Amino acid sequence: MKAQTWHGGAHFTLDDIPDPKPSPDYVVVAIDTTGICGTDVHVTQGLFPKDPPQILGHESSGIIVEVGDGVSKDRIGQRVCVNHPASCYECWYCRNWSLCRCENQPMISNGYFAQYAAVASRSAVEIPETLDLETAALTEPAACCLSGVEMLDIPYRATGLVIGAGIMGLFTAVFLKSHGVETLVVSEPVKIRREMAKQFGADILHDPNDVPLSEVVADVTDNGRGFSVTAEAVGKPELVAACVNSTKPRGQTLMIGVSPEGSPLPVDLYDMHYREIKLIGAFRQGDVTHRVPRELAKLNLENVISGCYPLADLPEAITASAKGLGIKFAIKPNR
């Protein structure tokens, strides 16, 4: 089969590698769609720790084409989203932290920028008939956002702010609204992304190139005291700080975006302490993946995927994503 191998920086090669075979309790998935994650972009920029060479890609959907021992042949032909990673359900992390932090994670045969992958059967989650495979590839980023939002304690008539309207910011916005935020501001400098936030429930759109965020805080919140909840969905420490500074006393700031390893938090810790701000990190998809395909089927996701590229054009797709030329870009490995 064909796969794109990352060799460091922006260097990829399109390679022929052996087709994966399913071990016991595994299935082989023919990959239909794999989304370009902000993490994939950050990996190529040296901002997220990964060691080359390897096959990247972790937001995927496809069709089960082969099963290993212990898996019903009835699964062949099922349309699935592919959870990444799998879980053992027995280790300390699975029982006390989160299934996505499993210490004994069953291995996938390769990343999903490839035509096929062998994954644990429990990681291949069947999707509703009303959900198309392309949209189902959004399950992983949506799960990360839903898991994060469900860590919050959202008060009655809450006000909310999301900084960043890439796919993570958009899903954070829609789940904040569905979980009780009454008035939601989304701040985003890229027009196409900012306007898409309306489709995801934003009540007020903010262009940081036009109006200082401090003016929005003053206009929207109670006497300018700040938002009930804020969320950073870009992965820049200075924007996490902007969220903290825009949060009301005893409010909550959620980190959805992944800042570079080793990043300091550029805030006045005395002020943060004085105002009793709660800062919450949300990393990976928690324990909600199995619920997310049904949630996706309820949403208006028209035009969210801005473009799909063949596998050979993965470097171009990553560049388009890095430049913010659309909402979400994806790879079609078998096109």
Same domain flag for 253 and 162: yes
Q: How far is CA 12 from CA 6, 83, 84, 85, 137, in A?
A: 5, 24, 22, 23, 22
| Final residue belonging to a domain, choices 239, 265, 281 | 281
Same domain flag for 125 and 200: no
Q: What pLDDT does 105 receive?
A: 73
Same domain flag for 272 and 159: yes
Is residue 57 over pLDDT 80?
A: yes
Same domain flag for 304 and 199: no
CA gap 121, 22 in Å, rounded: 9
Q: Of 60, 126, 17, nearest to 332 (Cα)?
A: 60
> Kind of pairing, strands 227-232 and 247-255?
parallel
- The distance from CA 231 to its chain's CA centroid, rounded to whole angstroms, is 14
Same domain flag for 192 and 290: no
Q: Which residues pair with 59 in a beta bridge?
A: 35
Q: Of 222, 279, 270, 223, nearest to 250 (Cα)?
A: 279
Whether residue 244 contacts residue 173, with contact meaning beta carbons closer than 8 Å, is answered with no
Same domain flag for 202 and 319: no
In a domain, 146, yes or no: no
Given pLDDT bands bounded at 50, 70 and 90, which one contains residue 48?
A: confident
| Final residue belonging to a domain, choices 281, 306, 321 | 281
**234, amino acid identity:** V
In a domain, 60, yes or no: yes
Same domain flag for 276 and 182: yes
Q: 154 or 86, which is more confident?
A: 154
Is residue 271 over pLDDT 90?
A: yes
pLDDT digits over 3-27, tens only?
999 999 999 999 999 999 999 999 9
Same domain flag for 52 and 160: no
In a domain, 71, yes or no: yes
In a domain, 147, yes or no: no
- Please state the pTM of the whole predicted model: 0.93
In a domain, 7, yes or no: yes
| Final residue belonging to a domain, choices 258, 281, 304 | 281
Q: Of 282, 296, 324, 281, nearest to 191 (Cα)?
A: 324
Q: Of 273, 315, 324, 288, nearest to 56 (Cα)?
A: 315
Average pLDDT, integer, range 235-259: 97
Share of the chain above pLDDT 90, in %: 89
Same domain flag for 131 and 231: no
CATH classification at residue 112: 3.90.180.10
**Helices 167-178 and 191-199, interaxial angle, to 10°?**
30
Q: Which domain holds residue 182?
A: 152-281
CA gap 111, 55 in Å, rounded: 5
Average pLDDT, integer, range 276-299: 95
Same domain flag for 22 and 86: yes
CA gap 131, 136 in Å, rounded: 7
Tell me if residue 29 falls in helix, strand or coil: strand
Same domain flag for 104 and 175: no
Average pLDDT, integer, range 250-271: 95
Whether residue 185 contacts residue 216, with contact meaning beta carbons closer than 8 Å, is answered with yes
In a domain, 194, yes or no: yes
How many independent structural domains does the chain possess?
2
The mean pLDDT of the chain is 95
CATH classification at residue 179: 3.40.50.720
Q: Of 271, 269, 239, nearest to 256 (Cα)?
A: 239
pLDDT digits over 97-129, tens only?
988 888 887 678 889 999 999 999 999 999 999
Q: Of 218, 98, 95, nearest to 161 (Cα)?
A: 218
Phi and psi, residue 63, nearest 5°: -125, 130
Same domain flag for 185 and 215: yes
